[in-house]
Structure 1
């Protein structure tokens, strides 16, 4: 997992590195809100650690930007000074998922990061080569996508794109980041290749609320595959059909 920490205090940054040193996470630390925004426009991490008192942008404003641009699914852990603990309800209401009081205690930080990542990403059922999400089953080994028992026909590149998105539900990918992950090279400024493949995936896989998954375009950023509640009337047709069948016949 990729963790981005926004922390301007060198001592706290060292504690964050120490706390996550023995995990398998890739940890990057930036020193200001402006640097964080620049980094987030290029790529989206799996979890954010946010210092509330930044030198250029307040942590509260940074949190608002994150939720507006990246959505509600990315976990955000806020670092709060002991003198600011009374503000915790406000921070959580603003969109933070959890908080840690500074100075950071390494064991506590590592544990809270693990809990947030598990809570955010363990809802995907998958084995070594199989992902189940919504009405979809993706088999990485056989390179197949099955929707409600019916295999969907995708080109090799479409499958690579679909499997990458399904591995990271709720994560917002910048266009260049997603293109590099699937095509293995930088995205040309005027290229529409990615957008064309996204359009085809939406059509071929019927990515919509009726199947519990949608592929969302994030304005001026990129794309996000996310879970959505299945509408109650999605099953209304089959229910009425079965009810109708049960009321006719020799009985």
Structure 2
């Protein structure tokens, strides 16, 4: 998962990064709230960790911006030295999903982060199949069916398709998709994502009569929308 961390203490920032990276997450570190907001205007994150007091824009101001401008389901964790009851209540009432007072032991930090991610992005990795309307995915086998008809997809096309369905109606930035599917996005030509997205759209017949449509988001990325089926 892609996790943004707003923290201006270098030691604390590296501590959080080390704990979450070892657990398989990809962390992006920010010392200033404005830099985080600018990045969030261009890219998707799965969770954001905020400190209260940073150099420019306070964590509660960044939280207010997130709740007004970003995906409403984005998990936001406050991790700060401010441990007064009033601070905790204010942050939670403003839209934070959890609140930790530093110093935080690594097992507790990881447990809280995993709980938030599982609550929002719960996916049964062990499930043999995942059903989305008439689309049936077999993640372990890398197969997908539309109304019992198997659709031939390449490995990357399958990964892209199931990423879109698992994040239905959620805007996904190009950077998020490239990192998730291709891992090292810097080495991928810019048209590669668009070519694969077009192939998924055509092969899976993602059009209104089948109830789904891939929507490009100019300057940002893509979103898979569930639509009302067209009446004949």
Q: Which residue matches 1:86?
A: 86
Cα separation, partners in 2 of 1:102 and 1:178, compared to 1, 3 Å: same
Q: Which moved more, 1:151-160 or 1:78-87?
A: 151-160
Cα shift at 1:29: 1.8
Equivalent runs, 1:169-248 vs 2, <5 Å: 172-178=171-177, 181=181, 185-187=188-190, 193=194, 197=198, 200=201, 204-205=205-206, 221-225=220-224
CA separation in 2, counterparts of 1:49 and 1:89? 17
Cα shift at 1:40: 3.0
Equivalent runs, 1:66-105 vs 2, <5 Å: 66-105=66-105
Cα shift at 1:86: 0.7
CA separation in 1, counterparts of 2:65 and 2:150? 37
Q: Which residue matches 1:113?
A: 113
Runs of 4+ with deviation above 6 angstroms: none
CA separation in 2, counterparts of 1:42 and 1:198? 24
Q: Which residue matches 1:245?
A: none
Please list the CA deviations of residues 168-225 of structure 1 after superposition, one character each: whole Å capped at 9, or x if unmatched.
557642135436746972426xx99469739946x824579x97x8866667533344
Cα shift at 1:98: 1.0
The question of whether the paired residues in 2 share the 8 Å contact of 1:5 and 1:27 is answered with yes
CA separation in 2, counterparts of 1:20 and 1:176? 20
Instruction: Figure out how many residues of one structure are paired with residues of the other and give that number.
Output: 224
Cα shift at 1:8: 0.7
Cα shift at 1:154: 6.7
> What TM-score does the superposition give when structure 2 sets the normalisation length?
0.70
Q: Which residue matches 1:9?
A: 9
Please list the CA deviations of residues 56-108 of structure 1 after superposition, one character each: whole Å capped at 9, or x if unmatched.
22222212333344302222111243355313333223322111112333332
> What TM-score does the superposition give when structure 1 sets the normalisation length?
0.66
SS at structure 1 position matched to 2:91: helix
Cα shift at 1:133: 4.5
CA separation in 2, counterparts of 1:159 and 1:22? 27
CA separation in 2, counterparts of 1:47 and 1:221? 18
Q: Which residue matches 1:52?
A: 52
**Which of 1 and 2 has greater Rg?**
1
